[in-house]
Structure 1
Amino acid sequence: MGTTNLNISVIDKRMLKQSEAASYTGLAIKHFKASCPVRPVELARGTLLWDRRDIDRWIDTMKADHVEMTRDDILDRL
């Protein structure tokens, strides 16, 4: 029996269309538009693209502001 090699090259895009950026964050487009402070870049005339690295930094700041609650903290709030 012969062997087969499969070479797949995947290139992650850095710049994303609005729908791709929203999907990347896990948000619906309308929520992405309303909540994402990341400004798009106009690489080609009339083509707005969002930089994945800027989106990652925004998400990281959201996580940095998040305080991890312990079980006791949660029970105290009840």
Structure 2
Amino acid sequence: MGIANLNISVTEKRMMSEAEAASYCGLPAKHFKVCCNVQPVNLGGKALRYDKRDLDRWIDAEKTGDVDTSREAILSRL
């Protein structure tokens, strides 16, 4: 029997749909919509995507109880 090589390249997604973002955060989609204050990015048309880095910052802030009190952060929550 011959030897076979398998080369697999996996690229991690940075931008996620709402369902993917909810799954990434470990939340049901309905709960994600209510509790996640991360704003999606409009990539044109109806293509709203959540940035993984923004989701990570939100999760980290939830863990530590840190609240961003910068002017921009406060305005973005309104």
- What CA RMSD, in Å, does the superposition of the two structures yield over aligned residues? 1.3
Paired position in structure 1 for 2:9: 9
Q: Count residues with an aligned counterpart.
A: 66
User: 1:44 deviation in Å?
Assistant: 1.8
Structure 1 residues not aligned, in runs of 5+? 67-78
The CA distance in 1 between the partners of 2:58 and 2:35, in whole Å, is 11
Secondary structure (helix, strand or coil) at the match of 2:3 reads coil
Paired position in structure 2 for 1:36: 36
Paired position in structure 2 for 1:45: 45
Question: Could you say which structure has the larger radius of gyration?
Answer: 1
The CA distance in 2 between the partners of 1:45 and 1:55, in whole Å, is 22
- Aligned partner of 1:34: which letter? V
Paired position in structure 2 for 1:25: 25
Secondary structure (helix, strand or coil) at the match of 1:20 reads helix
For residues 52-71 of structure 1, the aligned pairs below 5 Å read 52-65=52-65
TM-score (norm 2): 0.80
Give % identity: 56
Query: Would you identify which runs of 4 or more consecutive aligned residues in structure 1 move more than 2 Å?
Result: none
The CA distance in 2 between the partners of 1:9 and 1:65, in whole Å, is 37
Structure 2 residues not aligned, in runs of 5+? 67-78
